[in-house]
Amino acid sequence: MLAMLNYPDIDPVVFALGPLKVHWYGVMYLLAFSGGWWLARLRAAKAHSGWTEEQVDDLVFYFVLGAVVGGRLGYTLFYGWSGLVADPLSLFRVWEGGMSFHGGLIGVLVAMGLLARQQGKTFFQTTDFIAPLVPFGLFTGRIGNFINGELWGGPTDMPWGMRLPCVEFPSYCVGLASGAQWSLPVHPSQLYESLLEGVLLFLILWVFSSQTRPRMAVSAMFLLGYGLFRFSVEFIRLPDAHIGYLAGGWLTQGQVLSLPMLFFGAVFLVMAYKGKRVSG
């Protein structure tokens, strides 16, 4: 049975004050960072956390800077280089979408390295602390992708498949009768990722880190969890049209970028339990 869910008509602009427009995509980032800050305060308040509220405030500042700069630069390098060459100012139009998680991760790792040195902590002490906070931001970010109408999956006959208006998404209506109003149902892969990378990964890491673990173990679990979920959803999610599949009619850029996460996650987990140095 074909799905009959129609993509809701969501205005990407929450509200406007004269020339100033507040987009849902920006609101999702605001929720991500404020929610992460609140969760970090909760973790810091636990006995023997090794973190003060002031250190948490610095951590969130570095995290936001690394995520935004790294995410945007990563997208232009991994997915949107041709668009940047054609329109260099597009680099600054973050509200239109176009943020790479893998680029953001690199930016955050660089920022956490600088912060760890400044605060006299090790790199993995810092990443073990922030790893359980990241899925909340992934959840809100994927909801932002859904509102923006980007990163859809392929055709499906599942009852939760989403039909897209042909006026806004003509590429999904190719082959349909002329004048068709709606596309065939497609996977809402953004929502799949919000549940897997956001909700499920958050629960796994929050429970896992609630007990004392060896240093690197929590960071390793994050890399393994995200890498596995992202690699799996990429089988359903359609690749960027200007890149397409890299090999075999199924391998995507997202899968290639997720492979190092799976590899290093496994290596770090083995090293963590061999070293058995407490991370807090």
* Chain segment 43-81, per-residue pLDDT in tens: 999 888 889 999 999 999 999 999 988 888 888 877 766
In this structure, is residue 266 part of a structural domain?
no
- Phi, psi of 79, rounded to the nearest 5 degrees: -130, -30
User: pLDDT digit string (tens) for 255-272?
Assistant: 999 999 999 999 999 999
In this structure, is residue 229 part of a structural domain?
no
Q: What is the pLDDT of residue 94?
A: 64
Q: What is the pLDDT of residue 81?
A: 67
Average pLDDT of the residues in 133-158: 93
Residue 60 sits at the vertex; the CA angle it makes with 223 and 11, to the nearest 5 degrees, is: 85
Residue among 217, 215, 164 at smallest CA distance from 188: 164
Domain residues for the domain of 71 are: 20-152+168-214
In this structure, is residue 130 part of a structural domain?
yes
User: pLDDT digit string (tens) for 5-57?
Assistant: 999 988 888 888 888 888 888 899 899 999 999 999 999 998 888 899 999 99
Average pLDDT of the residues in 120-140: 94
User: pTM to 2 decimals?
Assistant: 0.87
In this structure, is residue 260 part of a structural domain?
no
Q: What is the pLDDT of residue 1?
A: 47
In this structure, is residue 1 part of a structural domain?
no
Cα–Cα distance list, 32 to 38, 127, 142, 222, 273 (Å): 10, 17, 11, 17, 31
In this structure, is residue 275 part of a structural domain?
no
Give residue 280's pLDDT band: very low, low, confident or very high (50, 70, 90): low
Cα–Cα distance list, 30 to 62, 102, 136 (Å): 15, 20, 12
In this structure, is residue 6 part of a structural domain?
no
Distance of alpha carbon 155 from its chain centroid, rounded? 23
- For residue 96, the 8-state DSSP code is G
Residue among 22, 18, 267, 278 at smallest CA distance from 129: 278
Domain count, the chain: 1
